[in-house]
Amino acid sequence: MPLRDRDTADDIQRLQTLAWSGVGLILGMLLGALLSDKFGWPLLPSMVGAAVVLAGGIYAITRLITVGAGRAAGTIHNPSGSSTPYAHSYSQAESMVAQGDYRNAATLYRDYINADPTDGEARLRLARLLRDNLRRYDEAARWFRAARQCKQSSRGDLLITRELIEMALAQQHDPPRATPELARLVERFPGTPEARWARQELAEIRKRIAGS
């Protein structure tokens, strides 16, 4: 839950608790008056004492209930028990991209990343936006690498590496720029079709460089 929403929910819970405490205060005063009449106790101390006890008891019980409910809701929304917020839907940023509002979409993705430094998906989406729509290839490459560092699976690592290579070859038209990623792919994924392809690309690039 975002911080602002959580603060609002806490404020509402406190108001509800105070409201119930006010009810307890009134009931306590009535109870004190009844006890005073029945047992002959002094009226004012009886009313004040009963009001304080009843209002305090209701306050404590209400707080226990609301705090417990809040924790239960947190467990439902975040069952791992960690404090990491659940993934963004990215729908607002996607809507901006669909409308051609690429710069504001990029800003929103950066906001997602600032809010959750472990959000690899936001980094990947930002990298693709910079590459495909804004053609800021160097910045896109940095975000692709940042996304790759966010505990990607082996498959995710491979796909991001392929995207970096293909961007250098097809969009930047700069084969030498692709060589570090090609070499990385060969080293990290030996025996795969991707590694064989990368080895061939490396050989071609080196041949062209040697012949130039």
pLDDT in tens, 202-211: 999 999 888 8
Amino acid identity at 161: T
Same domain, 37 and 67: yes
Are residues 58 and 121 located together in one domain of the fold? no
Task: Give the confidence band of 4 by pLDDT, cuts at 50, 70, 90.
Answer: very low
User: Residue 80 has which token pair?
Assistant: 């791992």
Q: What is the pLDDT of residues 184-198, one digit of tens each?
A: 999 999 999 999 999
Could you tell me the residue range of the domain that residue 100 belongs to?
A: 89-151
pTM value? 0.58
Residue 26 within a domain? yes
Q: What is the DSSP string of 30-70?
A: HHHHHHHHHH---HHHHHHHHHHHHHHHHHHHHHHHHHHHH
Q: Could you say which of 132, 151, 170 is where a domain stops?
A: 151
Give 70-89 pLDDT, tens digit per residue. Answer: 444 333 334 444 444 445 68
Given 27, 51, 77, which residue is the final one in a domain?
77
* 158 and 188 fall within a common domain: yes
- Number of domains into which the chain is organized: 3
Compute, in degrees rounded to 10, the torsion defined by CA atoms 165, 167, 172, 177: -20
- Looking at the fold, whether 137 and 159 belong to one and the same domain comes out as no
